[in-house]
Amino acid sequence: MAKTENLLEQIARIESETGIPRTIFAACPNSVSVVRAAFRAAKRNNAPIYFAATLNQIDCDGGYTGLTPAEFVRLARIEAEAVNFTGPAIIAIDHGGPWLKDKQSIERWSAEDAMEGVKKSFEAAVEAGYDLIHVDPTVDIYVPKGEIIDIRVVVGRTVELIAHVERFRRAKGLPAISYEVGTEEVHGGLADETTFDRFLTGLKEGLAKAGLADVWPCFIVGKVGTDLHTATFDPAVARALTARVRPYGSYIKGHYTDGVSNPEQYPLCGMGAANVGPEFTMSEYDALAELEVREREMDREGRVAQLSHITDVLKRLVCESNRWRKWLHGEEVGREFDALTPERQMWLVKTGCRYIWQSPEALVARQTLYANLRRAGYDPEEVVLGRIERDMDKYFHAFNLINLNDLLR
């Protein structure tokens, strides 16, 4: 049995014995600090950890973290060993599909080239030892604006990608992996209940025709009220979607769980797992900004030779990257950064830092900041990791994951 299905099966067994439902916490590995903090938090909470990595973050070209799939798997192993973490650690692709990698969309790759690019990324992930792939062909840049992609196309591309991975995996004699399908985005069409059902029926039939009746996704992404700009989970919708997918043997997976106001409702509604990503970039930024305040205090005391100016550097690099434009609201599109409200500028900088953490200037600014504080007896990395871990801890608690590792066989 694949690792993810095994974990889900054990969680279901433990719930039947204890009456306590649980939801798997998935962290988006948008920086090395987040990966390190995740293993430390998982170790302290004695719980499994799940990494959901987009192809923008980690891919054959290094992504914006600079890590290939093989390097990421090695990094995860090294960080786990550093804290003697021996519990389950799931490594997954998040939103793997044509044009979901920014490069493909910006350069307007053809459908054939985009699909081939995704297949190569999936192959690299499988060879590296990933445990799960989120197959998400719900975007098509050639569908006219305002129209929704035909669900039959979504089903066809989903089957094609899963079939490709299975042929590749089996030919290489590699272990079984798990799948996640669907999207929380309206453009994918799955937000509509009727289309959601058509997708499930079509996928079942398509996999059977491809000779893959034994393959089925353990997670189906559901639109449960959260997105990048809202933070309220809808229990009624979650329960309804769960009731739809459990007969298939699947669980609903929540995305955009960042800063959600009622995370304790997730396990109560039968949610299988939930992703959290940009929130931890904001945690990392806030910790660095906090350290910079102390650095400036030390500078006024004559204890700093050269200031890091880290928040100014980060803001400039995010602006220069232009990746903040991807997250503009409709009425903001076309505006320059300085024309946005101060609140929106700060949000875009805090969440956009994930794109530039590994740039040389950002690395130098961070090291300058760390060096200044270390001379004064501080441990700046502990401050940063502690802030990220604190924000992860609430999910381990809300999802009833504390000491789960002791109950796993």
- In this predicted structure, the answer to whether residue 94 has a pLDDT above a threshold of 60 is yes
Instruction: Please tell me the predicted confidence (pLDDT) of residue 239.
Output: 95
- In this predicted structure, the answer to whether residue 29 has a pLDDT above a threshold of 60 is yes
Unique residue bearing structure tokens 């430390």: 40
> Helix crossing, 32-45 with 380-398: angle to 10°?
50
107-121, 222-236, 296-310 — which is least confidently predicted? 222-236
Quick: pLDDT tens for 165-194: 999 999 999 999 999 998 766 555 565 678
Taking a C-beta distance cutoff of 8 angstroms, is the pair 155, 111 a contact? no
pLDDT range class, residue 158, cuts 50, 70, 90: very high
Instruction: Please tell me the predicted confidence (pLDDT) of residue 187.
Output: 54
Helix (H) or strand (E) holding 52: strand 49-54
Q: In the 8-state DSSP scheme, what is residue 326?
A: G
Longest dimension (CA), the chain: 73
Instruction: Please tell me the predicted confidence (pLDDT) of residue 82.
Output: 98
194-203, 205-214, 302-311, 312-321 — which is least confidently predicted? 194-203
Distance of alpha carbon 215 from alpha carbon 248, whole angstroms: 11
Distance of alpha carbon 118 from alpha carbon 96, whole angstroms: 7
Average of per-residue pLDDT values in the chain: 95
- In this predicted structure, the answer to whether residue 215 has a pLDDT above a threshold of 80 is yes
pLDDT range class, residue 240, cuts 50, 70, 90: very high
- For the segment 215-244, the average pLDDT, to the nearest whole number, is 89
- For the segment 92-121, the average pLDDT, to the nearest whole number, is 97
Instruction: Please tell me the predicted confidence (pLDDT) of residue 310.
Output: 98
Burial of 296 (0-12, 13-18, 19+ CB in 10 A): middle
Whole-model pTM?
0.95
Burial of 18 (0-12, 13-18, 19+ CB in 10 A): exposed
Length of the chain: 409
Quick: pLDDT tens for 110-145: 999 999 999 999 999 999 999 999 999 999 999 998
Instruction: Please tell me the predicted confidence (pLDDT) of residue 228.
Output: 67
Taking a C-beta distance cutoff of 8 angstroms, is the pair 200, 248 a contact? yes
